[in-house]
Chains A and B, each alone.
Chain A
Amino acid sequence: MENKQDTHKGIWWHPLTFPVLLAMACAAGFGGTSMQLVHGKGAFGSVVLVQMLNTALESGNFAVLSGYAGGFLFARFLEGPLVGILDIGGSICTGISFGVTGLMLAAGWKSVLTNFPLALLCGGAIGLGLGLVIEAVRKGGGFTTSASAATGMMMGAGNSIGAFFGPLVIVTAIRFSIPAGVGAIVGAALMYAMKKPIVGGAIIGAMILGTLGPIPA
């Protein structure tokens, strides 16, 4: 046991280390979204989340994006200090990268995000702040236990959305063109047979076979 005490000394176990690590992670999340806005690739999300961002950008309504992703951030942030492990999928990849940036886009601060160094700084500052709050809350004894139960339900809803999105893409691919539809069907079937999410197979299949036909107006 005395050996274990020795390994927990130094800079890596300082109370300020976690806020710094969180700042780096959030800076990276903001950087990814910045890349997505400028280059059309790089955000920390799967097909469903990135498509949510694209649809929000097109329609100008960011309510779903920031409500959904921000809800995850809020719940995971309440849960993190309580259990000792901050869930990076919900808090950083979803909440920071899409929820907080969605709020900023809704407020018309797009120029902050399209400027890569500024996006990194902004994400870093937010992460540092959140990290300091988490360390402070840990000292104070933690938040309510209900957050874990709420995140469990939201995870379930998120998984259902991912599951529903696959068949939805097959339907829209078939409505787009017959070659794309055939590709989506074959791709989804192959993915299902390999026990992977079918949405990816449906899109890639539609992309590959869709090129055989014309692009309808």
Chain B
Amino acid sequence: MLPLLLKAVVVGGLAGFAFAAGAARMFHAPEYQAMGAFRTLGEMNACRGDPIAHLSFGASFIPVTAIDAVAVGGIGQELWHRTVPNVTAGLLLLKDKDPDRTFKNPKAMAPLGALVGAVGMVFYMTMASAVPAKMATIAQKVMVPAGQAMMDYLMPIIFFLTAIDGGVHTGVASILYGGFAQMVMGNAVPGCVMGILVGKAVEVDGWKRSTWILVTAVTGLFIAVAYFRGFFTTLANLFVAG
């Protein structure tokens, strides 16, 4: 238990420091590179620098994260791009109402964010560790077949459909790359993802030099994967053996 909690403090501290500083920098983007999310920026602006609004908004994601932690041990992104920035901002605003000295200032946000992140990680890890063994077994036995079905059928189908709904460029590219990926990698998802990227590049940018580079790189990558997985040998054997 102790190694786990020590690791939780390190991971939570590092992530909290970086993400709180990144969130403060969002108010200075795009002049300075920030990290966070546009949704987070909007949510933080909506709290209008009111400490209670920030604190309660950040805390409202605690139950959702706790469920992820209890069910599979995961810490959802909400801790990092909602709870940490907003709770840190709220705590700073309790003492000082000036946005430039508090939540827009990485120097003030980062150290306190590290504390919030570390406390959050320890809290969720303790909670996940408190799950009784029989419950954990049931969760695993229910989740394994669900996870298998998700990876084998659900995700390829959803990605194919998303690409097809996205228009003719992404649709054609994803069916080609996705189909090939299913053949050589055993799953269409990586191919569909690349198909969406390539299709959108062709649609938005046209056949520019950057598009050609992307198409060549992606095609080359897939051919290399096929080669190293022995796909061409299998293919050749089909004809030789017959």
Chain A residues with CB under 8 Å of chain B are: 7-8, 12-13, 18, 21-22, 24-25, 27-29, 31-32, 34-36, 39-52, 54-56, 58-59, 61, 63-64, 66-68, 70-71, 74-75, 80-81, 83-89, 91-94, 116, 120, 134-135, 138, 143-147, 149-150, 153-154, 156-157, 160-161, 164-165, 168-169, 171-173, 175-176, 180, 184, 196-197, 200-201, 203-204, 206-208, 210-211, 215
In angstroms, Cα B18 to Cα A116, docked, is 19
Judged by DSSP, the binding face of A is: helix
A54's closest neighbor in chain B, by CB? B147
Is there contact, CB below 8 Å, between B68 and A200?
Answer: yes
Besides A35-B11, A50-B73, 17 new A-B residue pairs in contact (Cβ under 8 A), listed by A number:
A8-B32, A18-B35, A25-B18, A25-B35, A27-B14, A34-B7, A50-B68, A50-B74, A54-B72, A84-B34, A88-B81, A144-B205, A146-B203, A153-B162, A165-B146, A168-B149, A210-B135
Q: Is B220 an interface residue (CB 8 A)?
A: no
Which chain B residues numbered 18 to 55 have a C-beta less than 8 Å away from chain A? 18-19, 21-22, 25-26, 28-38, 41
Known: A25-B18, A68-B193. A153 touches B166 (CB 8 A): yes
Q: How far is the CB of B134 from chain A (nearest CB, A)?
A: 5
Is there contact, CB below 8 Å, between A134 and B201?
Answer: no
Q: How far is the CB of A164 from chain B (nearest CB, A)?
A: 5
Q: What number of B residues sit within 8 Å (CB to CB) of A?
A: 97
> A-B pairs with the 4 shortest C-beta distances?
A67-B190, A84-B30, A41-B73, A71-B193
Chain B residues with CB under 8 Å of chain A are: 3-4, 7-8, 10-12, 14-15, 17-19, 21-22, 25-26, 28-38, 41, 63-64, 67-77, 80-81, 100, 105-107, 121, 125, 128-129, 131-132, 134-139, 141-151, 154-155, 158-159, 162-163, 166, 170, 181, 185-187, 189-191, 193-194, 196-197, 199-201, 203-205, 210-211
In angstroms, Cα B128 to Cα A32, docked, is 14
Q: How far is the CB of A163 from chain B (nearest CB, A)?
A: 9
B225's closest neighbor in chain A, by CB? A63
Q: A161 — which chain B residues lie within 8 A by C-beta?
A: 150, 154-155, 158
B63's closest neighbor in chain A, by CB? A196
Is there contact, CB below 8 Å, between A39 and B138?
Answer: no
